[in-house]
Amino acid sequence: MNSSVCKILCSSSPLLPLTPPTMADSNAGIFDPDGKYEQGVLQASNDYPCPKDGADFVYGTAGFRMKADKLTSVAMTVGILAGLRSRKLHGQTIGVMITASHNPAEDNGVKIVDPQGEMLEQEWEKYATYIANAKDPQEAQNAYMWMIKEVRIDQKKPASVIFARDTRPSGEELVRALKTGLDATGVTSIDYGILTTPQLHYLVKATNTKDTSHPYGEVSEEGYYKKLATAFATAMDNIKPAGAVTVDCANGVGAPKLKEFLKHLPADSINIRVVNDNISDPSVLNNDCGADHVKTQQRAPAGFDGKAYDRWASFDGDADRIVYYFQAEGSIFRLLDGDRIATLAANFLGELVQKSGLADKITMTVVQTAYANGSSTRYIEQSLKLKCECTSTGVKHLHHVAARSDIGVYFEANGHGTVLFSPQTLKRIHTHQPESPAQLEALTTLRALTDLINQTVGDALSDFLLVETILAHKEYTVREWLATYTDMPNKLGKQRVANRADFVTVPDSAERKLARPEGLQERIDEIVAKYKDGRCFVRASGTEDVVRIYGEAGEVFDCENMVREVGGEIERRFGP
């Protein structure tokens, strides 16, 4: 195994040895008596050998993601790890999703979904990294046996995994590699074919709650559509839709799935036009279209033909992100991103809780990252009178904090997010006895939204239906939505550096303050102090030797000058 990877892993956790134990060393965990799984791992690693180019693989928030042609051996090891995870959790079903989301078509990725539809437990990310970096079949077998010992896994327990992929052609080969790892270790599996990422998360939770007192939904793709359609119809009962909306599906899996969902709705319930829906040509996937393009480029997607104030939305390639936007008079582009969706949802849910007579029993928190526009934070705290928390970048951090609240609304500015209802809150909502017809009306809508909102992960389709419901109830056009607050001028820049690892943020600062390099944060503070309403932070990129510089100020020119000045300071002192 590459020593640099092992050292990185061992520095973050002393559990991972540089030399994995052999069979003779393994005296904990329960191995299968005839060693067939160990031999299966050996054979699977022979069938899908690790690339010889010395590449290092690291499991992160998005799982493994890279050029698809380098991913086959990794997909196989994910099959092995998913089986171990299921056995550790006494046979609960684990999910595996093959997708690279908003990346170009030549990329792909593979990630693991835990039993309640949440992301893989963070402690297990290092195990995924560990086995993926085994450089030959014997190392892979040793790593497998070491994990059985270290995590104390009983191989006699059953293991169950379900998996799906997006529309990328490379997904077929990665499925074969994944299935090889699953079969090698005796894992029962189901291939759900082509799905959106949120649909796979839904199916994992539905599978694991099927025979409980609180089933999440029917265990099928059809069940996903039925649940959303029923909830949407209830929430929109006697409410006039908010007019036509055009949805850009990034030429990805969201296009056929949105069209399939619409078959479950009455024809007049919502007026949707679907564009950028070409899944037959891989080269157009996420190409000048989709949520990431619209957000990062601050412009409409390819094929945009909207008139002034027409409402548009964009999904990303695997349909777990959504942003809205429109063109104002004079062809001025206006973005309604994740911050806007979060504030819209928090406002409406707060009103429903109040009108339902539950305000003294339910509290709400909005969770953001440091990239959230400062005006949205002030609107949440000062106008909506809600608690707002800031976490490190990455939905796993937001999800964790949101889950601590009665109702936790979380969205990254890129449009990835959802709303979580605690089990106790769901019980209160569904058992509360209204005291008036008005309370009953609000309570009925609130109950419907608990089913309409995907409780497992950000879901572009679910979030889209939530926004459309709110706009209809509040009789908002995009003008009224935009007018709720005015964004601070902001700019996201980057600066190339000699070594991004030199830039370390202060723990518990939500990545808004630098601990190292020494003295740099003080210099940034001096620069920011010169600008009215200035705010600026620097954090290292996770993929390249650059740092990201985010700035806000009261005026556009101040914002641009501030970010430029901070970038110049970093280039002068730490440039390559």
Q: What is the largest CA-CA distance in the chain?
A: 74
540 annotated to bind ligand: yes
- Residue 260, marked binder: no
412 is in an annotated binding site: yes
Distance separating alpha carbons of residues 513 and 508, to the nearest angstrom: 9
Q: Is 73 a catalytic residue?
A: no
Are 475 and 243 within 8 A, CB to CB?
A: no
Residue 543 is labelled as binding a ligand: yes
User: Given 86, 101, 392, 462, which residue is catalytic?
Assistant: 101
Contact 182/189 with Cβ under 8 angstroms? yes
548 is in an annotated binding site: yes
316 is annotated as contributing to ligand binding? yes
11 is in an annotated binding site: no
Q: What share of the chain is helix, strand, coil (3-state, %, to 5)?
A: 40, 20, 40
339 annotated to a ligand binding site: no
Amino acid identity, position 291: A
DSSP classification of residue 193:
E
**Chain-centre distance of CA 260, in angstroms?**
23
* Three-class HEC string of 302-313: CCCCCCCCCEEE
Distance CA 567, CA 576 (A): 13
Q: Per DSSP, what are the bridge partners of residue 377?
A: none
The three-point CA angle 567-61-53 to 5° equals 85
Q: Token digits for 232?
A: 């949407």
What is the rounded distance in angstroms from the CA atom of residue 177 to the CA atom of residue 58? 18
Distances (CA, A) of 95 to 473, 483, 498, 529: 36, 41, 39, 48
Of 228, 321, 325, 223, the C-alpha closest to 269 is 228
Judge whether 405 and 366 are in contact, CB under 8 Å: no
474 CB neighbour count, 10 Å cutoff:
14
Long-range contacts of 449-454, Cβ-Cβ distance < 8 Å, separation of 24 or more: 449/231, 449/235, 449/349, 449/352, 449/419, 450/421, 450/426, 451/227, 451/228, 451/230, 451/231, 452/228, 452/231, 452/232, 452/235, 453/418, 453/419, 453/421, 454/198, 454/201, 454/202, 454/418
CA angle, 570 then 553 then 332, to 5°: 110
Pull the structure tokens for residue 208. 């694991």
In the structure encoding, which two tokens stand for residue 241, read together?
């839709």
Beta carbons of 234 and 444 less than 8 angstroms apart? yes
Whole-angstrom distance, CA of residue 323 vs CA of residue 315: 7
Say whether 413 counts as a known binding-site residue: yes
542 in a labelled binding site? yes
Q: Which residue numbers are catalytic?
A: 101
Binding residues for Mg(2+), by number, are 101, 316, 318, 320
Binding residues, by number, are 101, 316, 318, 320, 412-414, 539-543, 548
Binding residues for substrate, by number, are 412-414, 539-543, 548
